[in-house]
Amino acid sequence: MPQMTMVQAIQDALRVALREDPRVVVLGEDVGKNGGVFRVTEGLQAEFGAERVSDTPLAENGIVGGAIGMALYGLRPVAEIQFVDFVYPAFDQIVSELAKLRWRSAGQYSCPVVVRAPYGGGIRGGLYHSQSPEAYFCHTAGLTVVIPSTPADAKGLLLSALAGEDPVIFLEPKRLYRTIKEEVPEGRTAVPLAKARVAREGTDCAVICYGAMVPVALEAAGAAEQRGWSVEVLDLRTLLPLDSAALLASVRKCGRVVILHEAPRTCGYGAELAALIAEQALTDLQAPVLRVTGYDTPFPYTLEHSYLPDPPRVLRAVEHVMSY
């Protein structure tokens, strides 16, 4: 199998989908000739033409609104938002139209749109290019919310998203775009949606995470092992619908839990996970559930390294629950 970065794996998934299904189209700002701001779509317009890989005006509401119309008429659009921070002008289209079309039409219409967007910090993008708004979308019934953490998962999850009939918000951790390289299957491959992955087996403490925080958790787990603690790392992969069975299995096995994400703490996705654990596995816990998150501030530029959770912060949380 070839070695790929996440950028290459996502591009490969799009190429496979475009080749195999004439209904698949890609649209967004600069996705054509320039290949996107991160070059994820580089070369696709040259191979498939401007009608299938289309540059759009700088208007996110138009990109998503246009994709909705395309989907209702039988296409399978992949709408790229350059940075997820720019998605807010399209928020009404996503939550009021895209997410609700199957429901409001009593199942007569599906809307198979995949909205791709790089998310999160780690590249010194400052407050307008580093946000993690996944909780907004997880609050919206009708959407599937996916965040990969490895190149192979990125390809397999994207192809699974494109094969479905419902809208998917596909958030890509841009700090991992080129920092991880691994073997990725050639051709069509699939990673099931709504299925978590145990990234590291453990028995003493479970770290629940996703996206760019998975490598952070793995590094912290390695440091914890030096202290004699066995830390399990659960990569959720799909946030909505959540693989609650896998989550609760890790909680019940370990009895101690640290939830990790880079989004702000208040009303972050980790709060939902903590509530679910309290409701369904409280008596299995040996310590309170701890959250390691970003802070309740706009994302900083010069203090990015202080804002983002890092392995020492995760290790301190593990130490706290292990000593409770």
Q: Which of 19, 5, 7 is nearest to 187 (CA)?
A: 19
Is residue 217 a contact partner of residue 260, using CB atoms and an 8 Å limit? yes
Structure tokens at 106: 């009593």
Residue 195: how many other CB atoms lie within 10 Å:
14
Structure tokens at 140: 């919206």
Listed in sequence order, the residues at least 6 apart from 176 whose beta carbon sits closer than 8 Å to its beta carbon are: 6, 149, 211, 212, 215
Give rounded-to-5 percent helix, strand, coil for the chain: 40, 20, 40
Rounded Cα–Cα distance for residues 114 and 124 (Å): 27
Amino acid type, 140: T
Amino acid type, 120: G
Q: Is 305 a catalytic residue?
A: no
Q: What Cα–Cα distance (Å) separates residue 57 from each residue in 29, 60, 79, 110, 241?
A: 6, 8, 13, 26, 32
Q: Which of 132, 139, 36 is nearest to 78 (CA)?
A: 36
Q: Which of 129, 139, 261, 320 is catalytic?
A: 129
- Cite the DSSP H helix spans in 43-141: 44-48, 60-72, 91-92, 101-104, 134-138
Rounded Cα–Cα distance for residues 17 and 187 (Å): 9
Q: What is the CA radius of gyration of the chain?
A: 19
Is residue 265 a contact partner of residue 291, using CB atoms and an 8 Å limit? yes
Cite the active site residues: 129
